[in-house]
Amino acid sequence: MRAVCWMGKHDVQVREVPDPKILNSRDCIIKVKLSAICGSDLHLYDGYIPTMQEGDIIGHEVIGEVVEIGNEVDNLTVGDRVVIPFPIACGSCHYCKHEQHALCDNSNPNAHMAEAAYGYSPAGIFGYSHMLGGYAGGQAEYMRVPFADVGPMKVPDGVTDEQALFLSDIFPTGYQAALNCNIKSGDTVAVWGCGPVGLFAMKSAKLLGAERVIAIDHVPERLEKARRDADAEPLHFEKTSVLSELKEMTGGRGPDAVIEAVGMEAHGFNAADHFYDKAKQTLRLETDRPNALRQAIQACGKGGTVSIPGVYGGIIDKMPMGAAFGKGLTFKMGQTHVQRFMNKLMGHIEDGDIDPSFIISHRVPLVEAPAAYEMFKHKRNNCIKVVLHP
């Protein structure tokens, strides 16, 4: 089959690889109908995620059709249309029983690697390094799905592939980020980053009752999309003082909650800010560039919540802990417990509350994935979300 393979920094290639096989009685094999390039895939592309190996198949946003089933999978049949959550979960450990699927104890066969870095291992993830399991991803024609009796969700008739695809990751990720804000009626939520997760966080904040959502970015077309499609008030961080503007917009109180949907490759808010973190990251004196996170902490109102769906991988520098302590902020973060939210969010799609396909800017054949990665990285052609057709 053909698959998108990571071959090194800024080098992905579509290559012929062996078809996946059932390895465990709880596996299934799906024929991929659609996959997508996630913003977190760019961290692989840019070489910031350790323990990748040449030839690894990437991709963790996938919808497909079941073509083969292991002996112990009794909830699926061949021909089912299913969307696959990106964290792999066993369904029976302590964390899965508490709906913390992204913390599953049993799905990462390379847990010792993650434990060396984090103390304890999170769940395995499709196509996202050997430290997180070494699983083949779904930017391919076929994919093996472990614990298929737990993860895949059948897609109801009447919901299109494009509408269901983003239940695999970015819709639940944006929703969890908003849910973590403990939003109350009348709240104001500020969101850093108008990429796919940021946009879903904005729409979710509205679904959860936020009165105002403020979108912060520096890409004009993304700010316009946030205004048009997510009912957000745009704020261009290069044209204004974000802290002062947020105070002005909120009568001096600041946002009740902030969502940092940028993560480890933030660009910074001025040349000095960017140079400092870029230099330290290049020299491996820190692993991530937390410019957006620092500003979000500074801007959050007293007693507020800092929600972090943006991906961080290691060590960061100059965290404003004094501001966090002095204002009594609450921090919530982490990979998304996708399985917990899939049914609820599918209900919103079926009820017409949201059509997640609004996020798609480009649809391309799988063989054009290398060019699509390059386009997405540089935000060319108003690129916000790329869907790959096998």
For the domain that residue 379 is a member of, what is the CATH number?
Answer: 3.90.180.10
The reported pLDDT for the residue numbered 167 is: 98
* Chosen domain end from 333, 358, 373: 333
Statement to judge: residues 309 and 346 lie in one domain: no
The reported pLDDT for the residue numbered 248 is: 97
Instruction: Count the Cβ atoms, other than its own, within 10 Å of residue 183.
Output: 24
Q: Which domain holds residue 183?
A: 174-333
- Residue 17 CA to residue 28 CA, distance in Å, equals 18
Nearest to 190 by CA among 139, 245, 153: 245
* Chosen domain end from 287, 309, 333: 333
The reported pLDDT for the residue numbered 100 is: 98
Statement to judge: residues 295 and 381 lie in one domain: no
Integer-rounded Cα Rg, in Å, for the chain is: 20
200: CATH: 3.40.50.720
Instruction: Chunk the chain into consecutive blocks of 10 residues (it has 390) and report each block's average pLDDT, rounded to whole numbers.
Output: 98 98 98 97 94 98 98 97 98 98 98 96 98 98 98 97 98 98 96 97 97 96 96 95 96 97 81 77 82 95 97 89 97 97 98 97 98 96 96
Statement to judge: residues 80 and 165 lie in one domain: yes
- Residue 273 CA to residue 298 CA, distance in Å, equals 15
Statement to judge: residues 119 and 139 lie in one domain: yes
CA atoms within 13 A on the CB side of 225: 22
The reported pLDDT for the residue numbered 49 is: 93
Domain count, the chain: 2
The reported pLDDT for the residue numbered 187 is: 97
The reported pLDDT for the residue numbered 271 is: 64
